[in-house]
Amino acid sequence: MSYAEWSEINLDEAEWIIPAEKMKMKRTHIVPLSSQAVDILSSIHQLTGNANYVFHSERTNTRPMSENTINAALRRLGYSKEQMTGHGFRSMASTRLNEQGYNVDWIETQLAHCEGNSVRAAYNYAQYLSERKLMMQWYSDYLYRLRDGAEIIHFAKTK
C-alpha cells in the first residue's frame, strides 16, 4: 500500500486497482476494500488527497513512503524484526483466512500470488471479486473486534 496512488483508488466502488506495470507478474490487480478501509482512506484523502501518493514520503509528497517506514514504526512500537515486519501482515492475513476455511484460490488471488500450475495459470483468469470482498470484510471486522477487546481465552500450561 505504500506505493498506492490516489488515481488507483476508487472509494465509490471500494476498490484499489493496481496497474500491471506495478505488479511482479505484469497483470492488473484489483483489491476489494472493506468498509473500514474505505473509511480510513476517506480520512487520509483529506490529508494527502492533493498529492499523487496515498502515503507520501515525509520529506516530499512527490515520492511514496519508503517500505522501511512501516518496519521502523514497528521497531519503535517494540516489535523485533523476528516478531513482525510490514510484509508479515500479509502472512498473518493469509494464515487467519486459511484457518477460517476461506477458499485458497480467493486468498492467493487477494495476495496477488500466481498459480504454480502453468497450464491452469494460462487459462484461469478468475478474480473472485465478490467472494474476496466478503472475505476481506470478514477480516476487517475480525481485526476491529480484536481492537475493540474481543474475549481473550487463557489456556492452562500443559506438562
Full residue range of the structural domain in which residue 16 is found: 6-147
Domain annotation covers residue 1: no
Inside any domain, residue 113 = yes
In a domain, 92, yes or no: yes
* Edge-first strand listing for the sheet containing 15-18: 9-10, 15-18, 29-32
Condensed to tens digits (0 to 9), the pLDDT of residues 133-144 reads 999 999 999 999
Distance CA 115, CA 108 (A): 8
Tell me which residue of 67, 141, 151 sits closest to 97, measured CA to CA: 141
* 62 close to 52: Cβ distance less than 8 angstroms: yes
Does 157 map to a domain? no
Determine, yes or no, domain membership for 152: no
pLDDT of residue 151: 65
Q: What is the pLDDT of residue 58?
A: 86
Q: What is the mean pLDDT of residues 38-67?
A: 92
pLDDT above 60 for 3: yes
Average pLDDT, rounded, for the chain = 87
Summarize pLDDT for 79-126 with one digit per residue, the tens.
999 999 988 999 999 999 999 999 999 999 999 886 555 544 444 445
Distance CA 107, CA 97 (A): 7
State residue 53's pLDDT score: 94
| Residue 137 included in any domain | yes
- The answer on pLDDT for 154 being more than 70 is no
Work out the average pLDDT over 48-56: 91
Position 61, amino acid: N
Comparing 99 with 2, which gets the higher pLDDT? Answer: 99
Distance between CA atoms of 148 and 139, rounded to whole angstroms? Answer: 14
Question: How do residues 57-70 score in pLDDT, each as one tens digit?
Answer: 988 888 999 889 99
Tell me the three cell numbers of residue 5.
496512488
Does 154 reside within a domain? no
Per-residue 3-state assignment (H helix, E strand, C coil) for 35-91: HHHHHHHHHHHHHHCCCCECCECCCCCCCECCHHHHHHHHHHCCCCCCCCCCCHHHH
The verdict on residue 22 lying in a domain is yes
Q: Domain tally for the chain?
A: 1
93, 139 in Cβ contact below 8 A? yes
